[in-house]
Amino acid sequence: MSTDTTEKTDVLIVGSGFGGAITAYHLAAGGAKVTILERGPWLETSEFEHDFLLGSSYTRAFDFVIGDGMSILGGNCVGGGSVVYFAAMPRAPRFVFERHGSIGRRMWPAELTRDTLDPWYDRVSESLPVSTQDWNDVSYAGGLWAAACHHSGRTANPAPVAVDNSTCVNCNWMMAGCRFDAKRSLLTNYLPAALAHGATIRPLHEVQRLARTDDGGYRVHYSVIDAEDYRVHTGAGAIDAKIVILAAGAGATPVILQRSAEALGELPHAVGRYFSGNGERLNTAVLNEDRVREVLGLSREDGIAYEANQIGKGPTVACWDRLDGSLPEYERYSLEQLYFPPGLGTILAQVPGADSPAWFGPRKKEMLARWKSWLTIFLMTEDDNEGVFGAPPATGNAFRISQQMLGRGSLRYDPTPNTRRGWALADAECKEIMERDGLATVEPWTNDVVGAYTVHPLASCRIGDDPATSALTPGHELRGHPGIFVTDGSAVPGALTVNPAMTIAALAERAVPGIVRAARERGIDVGYGAPAPDGGTSGRRGVAGLPVVGSAVRR
């Protein structure tokens, strides 16, 4: 096999979300030549638009893939999901790391617990940074959700966020990118720091497959994507690398590996299996404004009780009462207030109390007229990792249906009774909280249109101790394929019951020392020990001297 390509790099990273940006920064800061290939566009702050028109930042930066029983909404731009996420950054509960899930035994590597991951959480918190909010920071919707929880005997807490509340204008356009740089996406920390250390980012470069080179490295084949019509390929190429890091997301990383199997050889059984949608559900509560005023005693300056669905910023308040490790598995979940903008949110919301299906028709039209009085509740439960990817499409992670955003994928998801029970328990509690004393009427979003849905895909190439049920070693290296690492959400073993960005980022930070060691063994002159992107070092103290998979290598 020839290795005479015109381009070579030390480390080739596929994707620029948390798993790609964090590893890119540390490896570039350590002296490696790092190249990032990102299938989406590179949007500047000025390009983040406040509309949902075709061709706006909303459709350019998202990827919505409809599968069989499960659909995935993810980022598709430089910065990945961090550009379009709601920036909620809780740490996973302690019990998550002891979960058994569908395999009937602990699914996480033995060395990984909340205690061993906490120092890496600290590094992420310093690097973004993550803010602890108080009640003065929450949105109207968050305050109403907290009041409803309190009224029903529950507790609620402001969620930790990667948002600078001093510059946030509460426009609620976080899913289209933050034009005020208040949201601390990767465009404001790890990625510019990686660029400052010499890393290069190539937008609109979609990786198709990997192959081996004669020198023990890998050749990464890519297509160049048209900036307006993502179905059109305008060119192709290949880059040779000694280390490849896949961070294309849990809906794309396994597809790239599946398509590469013919050239790479046998892949671990778990590649493209055990997919988790983070157990996610959405409920819409249509509030009775009079009852909000009478029961909760709430009103705004203009005398309106609420009518504030569109004001604020993503999730600001969560109820974590059910995040109790003493409860049985599949009975633990979080309930989080969330703003979901027009589009899927209005289509999939069902009319409370109507005969099923109730996502269209005259009563839905009446419901839409009251959209300002909606409150959306996001449920994150424990699922059974039942998703499986079928044969990969010829190119990309899905068969693209429209110019941007929409595609049809090969994921098959048939929820088990365990998963359905978790959904039902969370749905029932949400209904009990919001319908008490006539505050609102509540209904889950329909699954009839696009199946279940997730904005936090996980576990399709997960880490673990058991080669039969995990695609990666505890150090995130692809089993049987030294030099290939996976550091995105697909490496997370299972549902987390909270927003997963913080955990994905912490796992990526934890994986870096082992990747550095592998890079040095492959002849790359690279060290480890960079501070936070802004130069901070306090977050490093917690990991000093810790035993790390692969061991830390420092210059």
* pLDDT digits 0-9 by tens, 390-446: 999 999 999 999 999 999 999 999 999 999 999 999 999 999 999 999 999 999 999
pLDDT at 546 over 60: no
What is the distance between the alpha carbons of residues 91 and 19, in angstroms, rounded to a whole number? 16
Amino acid making up residue 381: T
Phi/psi of residue 246, each to 5°?
-95, 120
pLDDT of residue 440: 98
Point out the least confidently predicted range of 32-41, 116-125, 303-312. Answer: 303-312
Query: Is the bond leading into 467 cis (omega within 30 degrees of zero)?
Result: no
Residue 453: helix, strand or coil by DSSP? strand
Cα–chain center distance at 103: 23
Summarised one tens digit per residue, pLDDT across range 344-393 is 888 999 999 988 778 999 999 999 999 999 999 999 999 999 999 999 99
Q: Measuring CA to CA, which residue among 385, 281, 293, 290 is closest to residue 338?
A: 281
pLDDT of residue 539: 57
Domains of the chain: 7-522 (3.50.50.60)
| Residue 67: other Cβ atoms inside 10 A | 26
User: Token match 């920071």: residue?
Assistant: 137
Phi/psi of residue 380, each to 5°?
-120, 115
pLDDT of residue 538: 66
Q: Residue 512 is encoded by which pair of tokens?
A: 């870096």
Cα–chain center distance at 487: 12
What is the distance between the alpha carbons of residues 386 and 415, in angstroms, rounded to a whole number? 7
Reported confidence tier of residue 540, pLDDT bands at 50, 70, 90: low
pLDDT of residue 314: 86
Cα–chain center distance at 149: 26
**Please, are residues 502 and 124 in contact by the beta-carbon 8 Å criterion?**
yes
What is the distance between the alpha carbons of residues 407 and 404, in angstroms, rounded to a whole number? 9
Summarised one tens digit per residue, pLDDT across range 257-288 is 999 999 999 999 999 999 999 999 999 999 99
What is the distance between the alpha carbons of residues 55 and 59, in angstroms, rounded to a whole number? 6
